Amino acid sequence: MSLDGSTPHALSGETGEHHLGTSGIQHHLVPAHTTLRFQDLYRQQNNATIRLLNESGLLYTYNGRGAIWQLLLSLKNSTRKTVLIPAFHCPSMVFAAIDAGFSPAYYGIDDNLEIDHEDLLAKLDRHVAAVLTVNYFGFPADLECLKSACKDAGIMLIEDCAHSFYYANPLRLAGERGDAAVFSFRKTLPCGTGGGMRINNPSIHIDIPEARRPLSESLQNLKGLGEEVLANSRYEHLKRAYDRIEGIRTSFGKSAYEEPDKSATQGTSEYLSSYRFHKSHGITRIPWSTQQLLNRACLEDISKQRQANYRTASEIIQETSGLKVLFSQLPKHVVPWCFPVLMDSRSNIDHKLRVRGVPLFTHGETLHPSLLELATTEPDMVARARNISERILCFSIHQNLSESEVSAYCATVNSFNVASS
Question: What is the contact surface with ligand PLP in residues (CB under 6 A)?
Answer: 63-65, 90, 92-93, 134, 160, 162, 184, 195
Q: Closest distance between ligand PLP and the C-beta of residue 68, in Å? A: 6
Residues 37/398, Cβ–Cβ less than 8 Å: no
Nearest CB to ligand PLP, comparing residues 239 and 368: 368
Q: Closest distance between ligand PLP and the C-beta of residue 273, in Å? A: 13
How far apart, in whole angstroms, are the C-alpha atoms of residue 227 and residue 317? 32
CB contact set of 132 (below 8 Å; sequence gap of 6+): 68, 83, 84, 85, 86, 93, 97, 158, 160
Looking at residue 157, the DSSP 8-state letter turns out to be E
| Nearest residue to ligand PLP, by Cβ distance, number only | 64
Nearest CB to ligand PLP, comparing residues 63 and 220: 63
Q: Closest distance between ligand PLP and the C-beta of residue 28, in Å? A: 25
Nearest CB to ligand PLP, comparing residues 90 and 156: 90
Nearest CB to ligand PLP, comparing residues 194 and 359: 194
CB contact set of 153 (below 8 Å; sequence gap of 6+): 124, 126, 128
Q: Closest distance between ligand PLP and the C-beta of residue 72, in Å? A: 13
Q: Closest distance between ligand PLP and the C-beta of residue 124, in Å? A: 20
Q: Closest distance between ligand PLP and the C-beta of residue 63, in Å? A: 3
Nearest CB to ligand PLP, comparing residues 134 and 382: 134
Nearest CB to ligand PLP, comparing residues 90 and 343: 90
Calculate Rg over the CA atoms of the chain: 21
- Residue 329 vs residues 168, 306, 326, 333, 334: alpha-carbon distances, Å: 15, 14, 9, 12, 10
Write down the H helix ranges in 56-201. 64-73, 91-99, 117-122, 144-153
- Residue 317 vs residues 113, 325, 328, 414: alpha-carbon distances, Å: 19, 8, 10, 6
Nearest CB to ligand PLP, comparing residues 56 and 184: 184
How far apart, in whole angstroms, are the C-alpha atoms of residue 80 and residue 149? 16
Q: Closest distance between ligand PLP and the C-beta of residue 61, in Å? A: 9
